[in-house]
Amino acid sequence: MSQHRHPGAPGRAGAVPALPDLPEATVARLPEYLRALHNLADAGHETVSSEGLAGAAGVNSAKLRKDLSHLGSYGTRGVGYDVALLIDQIEFVLGLTQRRAVALVGVGNLGHALAGYDGFASRGFRIAALFDADASRVGEMINGLVVRHIDELPRVAAEEAISIGVIATPAPAAQAVAEQLVAVGVTSILNFAPCVLSVPDGVDVRKVDLAIELQILSFHEHRKASLTALPAAGGSALTALPGGLATPDTQEAIGT
Amino acid sequence: MSQHRHPGAPGRAGAVPALPDLPEATVARLPEYLRALHNLADAGHETVSSEGLAGAAGVNSAKLRKDLSHLGSYGTRGVGYDVALLIDQIEFVLGLTQRRAVALVGVGNLGHALAGYDGFASRGFRIAALFDADASRVGEMINGLVVRHIDELPRVAAEEAISIGVIATPAPAAQAVAEQLVAVGVTSILNFAPCVLSVPDGVDVRKVDLAIELQILSFHEHRKASLTALPAAGGSALTALPGGLATPDTQEAIGT
DNA sequence: CGCGATTTGTGCACGTCTTCACAAGCGCCT
DNA sequence: AGGCGCTTGTGAAGACGTGCACAAATCGCG
Ligand SMILES: NC(=O)c1ccc[n+]([C@@H]2O[C@H](COP(=O)([O-])OP(=O)(O)OC[C@H]3O[C@@H](n4cnc5c(N)ncnc54)[C@H](O)[C@@H]3O)[C@@H](O)[C@H]2O)c1
Ligand SMILES: NC(=O)c1ccc[n+]([C@@H]2O[C@H](COP(=O)([O-])OP(=O)(O)OC[C@H]3O[C@@H](n4cnc5c(N)ncnc54)[C@H](O)[C@@H]3O)[C@@H](O)[C@H]2O)c1
């Protein structure tokens, strides 16, 4: 894999760039840096220090430097990073230099919101097609796009060079939709349905599950509540269960 | 090791040992297990093996066992886990035995979808109030709830015992909204706006950023493409850096 | 031209997470 | 009752991620 290929410029059409294979944690943070960088650029900054960028992105500055070091050295000691250059570099690494075409399947409640969201366009993506299985929705126009029947997926996928599929159907339909997407060559899927998708190797799936996020928050709420309500065993109506709550050593903030 | 303590779980005979402080990674997976368990329960299963549950939740079985072991021993060797018991146990740990009240701020495109989503209710939450700053939206009914003006937050928060705040406003408004939420005692926030929130210690923030998810997928697409397209390397119009960009030729050896 | 102020890049130590492998426990069957 | 097969719970090892602390690099200035 690591071909020790010539480490030179990724740019300049012709040479296929040897992409450094970044730690997954780093990849997950790059978009955050990118957003912060765009804000800085809009605000007129030409350079930014690791400290400054880290602050804007909400991370530790050492972590940021290490992350950026993985894409090569683009900072100047004593000065910082060139904002515009870093934007280009990160966008290249993330594969955003082309405007990726996204297909959205399931134009219901959530799908409508997604289809109407302009945060896609401004961050490197283009919603290329909307699909639904419900005949009564087919033909509807949303944000300049017409809703097509899912059966048209193969044809449209070929036309539009779909790069990423977004699933916003009910959970029971998600697996079938995923298979349809994979069948037309989609190898990246963002899944909003609360279910596990099984896909062939080589296909990436990321999921967004709102309820999971809330439940994680709920856990921390529960824990915070049980810490403060500790002395009076289950006094308030907050915690349903009493419980021999032997709190271990935590240093979590108990502010306010 | 862990001794059973109170046999007074919600409804069933679940025992609740001390509230352990779980590894964050485990907490993030518990909701996944919970969903899988509910599916199993609906399908009539009374017990499930770690292998079976792990499959349904899309994780490694050893990891699942270790995760569950953190909440005490609730499996039976040679048999597996009692589905109903495990559901109760996880719901307790996640603090879902009470129906947490959620306040949604920003009833726009996305907010409408969230307000109409029944996946909240079925997974332990209750949307208790909707808020917006736009006077023309105030008064609108969505799914049986009236949209209130954000200024009413303090009063409503007191009435409804808001446990979690959800921010679905544009990014520029998010920080202010977060502060308003914190001011009325909310210590858990789910943020959909693409920006970093700064909050006091003790307040948990989770963010959901759709564009970030897409960009992560894009990275992997890019990577996959550069691997397979390696031999050709012709001037395919696909992967060229934007013209204006001076070649970032400053990159030096990476794998020193 | 050299010096001090500044900031990057990274070696290192530490903590967290994952995975394997297997002993111990449990139920069932004979 | 005893043995057998199945499954859990966990020790240990390794992979991965984080953050400190500091040398090296660069700039601005006198
Ligand atoms: N609404 C939300 O805020 C929200 C939040 C988080 C997760 N989700 C999840 O997102 C998904 C969609 O939610 P929703 O509220 O939009 O549901 P919805 O029922 O409003 O919309 C689902 C749409 O998918 C279409 N569909 C069904 N089967 C299909 C198929 N095989 N191919 C193509 N289209 C198909 C339906 O016709 C419908 O238009 C659900 O899985 C839901 O759990 C929704
Ligand atoms: N629509 C999507 O699919 C989507 C997807 C991902 C992220 N987001 C993000 O979610 C947020 C909302 O997106 P949207 O498409 O619903 O935007 P929107 O403009 O449709 O809705 C925003 C709503 O927030 C209200 N608002 C503004 N300032 C407020 C304040 N101070 N207090 C209370 N309410 C306020 C506005 O009146 C409006 O109703 C944005 O930050 C967006 O980037 C949206």
Domain boundaries, given as residue ranges, for chain A: 24-93, 100-208, 215-253
Domain covering A100-208 in this structure, CATH number: 3.40.50.720
C-alpha to C-alpha distance for B61 and B80, rounded to whole angstroms? 12
What confidence score (pLDDT) does residue B58 get? 97
CB contact under 8 A, B95 and A119: no
C-alpha to C-alpha distance for A221 and B132, rounded to whole angstroms? 25
**pLDDT profile of chain A (256 residues), mean per 10:** 36 49 96 98 96 97 97 92 97 96 97 94 95 97 96 96 98 98 98 97 96 98 82 38 33 33
CB contact under 8 A, B224 and A114: no
Ligand nearest to the CA of A151: 1
What confidence score (pLDDT) does residue B235 get? 35
B188 and B163 Cβ atoms separated by less than 8 Å:
yes
Question: Beta strand A204-207 with A162-167: parallel, antiparallel or unpaired?
Answer: unpaired
Record the tokens describing residue A22, joined without a space.
Answer: 């970044």
Record the tokens describing residue B192, joined without a space.
Answer: 């959909």
Long-range pairs of A115-120 with CB within 8 A, sequence gap ≥ 24: A115/A142, A115/A143, A115/A145, A116/A142, A116/A143, A116/B109, A117/B109, A117/B110, A117/B210, A119/B194, A119/B210, A119/B211, A120/B210, A120/B211, A120/B214
B80 and B49 Cβ atoms separated by less than 8 Å:
yes
H, E, C per residue of A176-203: HHHHHHHHCCCCEEEECCCCCCCCCCCC
- The CATH number of A24-93, from 3.30.450.260, 1.10.10.10, 3.40.50.880, 3.40.50.720, is 1.10.10.10
C-alpha to C-alpha distance for A228 and A226, rounded to whole angstroms? 6
**pLDDT tens digits, one per residue of B116-155:** 998 888 999 999 999 999 999 999 999 999 999 999 999 9
**pLDDT tens digits, one per residue of A212-229:** 999 999 999 999 998 776
- The reply to whether A69 Cβ lies less than 7 angstroms from strand D is no
Q: Is the CB of residue B62 less than 8 Å away from at least one CB of chain A?
A: no
> To test the ligand 2 pocket, which listed residue (A107, A110, A117) has its Cβ within 8 A of the most ligand atoms?
A117
Q: Which bases along strand D come within 7 Å of a protein CB atom?
A: 5-11, 16-21, 24-27
> What's the CA–C1' distance between B40 and D4, in Å?
29
Contact residues on chain A for B119, CB-CB shorter than 8 A: 194, 210-211
Task: Indicate whether residue B170 lines ligand 2 (CB < 6 A).
Answer: yes
pLDDT in tens, chain B (256 residues): 333 333 333 433 334 445 778 999 999 999 999 999 999 999 999 999 999 999 999 999 999 999 999 999 889 999 999 999 999 999 999 999 999 999 999 999 999 999 999 888 899 999 999 999 999 999 999 999 999 999 999 999 999 999 999 999 999 999 999 999 999 999 999 999 999 999 999 999 999 999 999 999 999 999 999 877 655 443 333 333 333 333 333 333 332 2
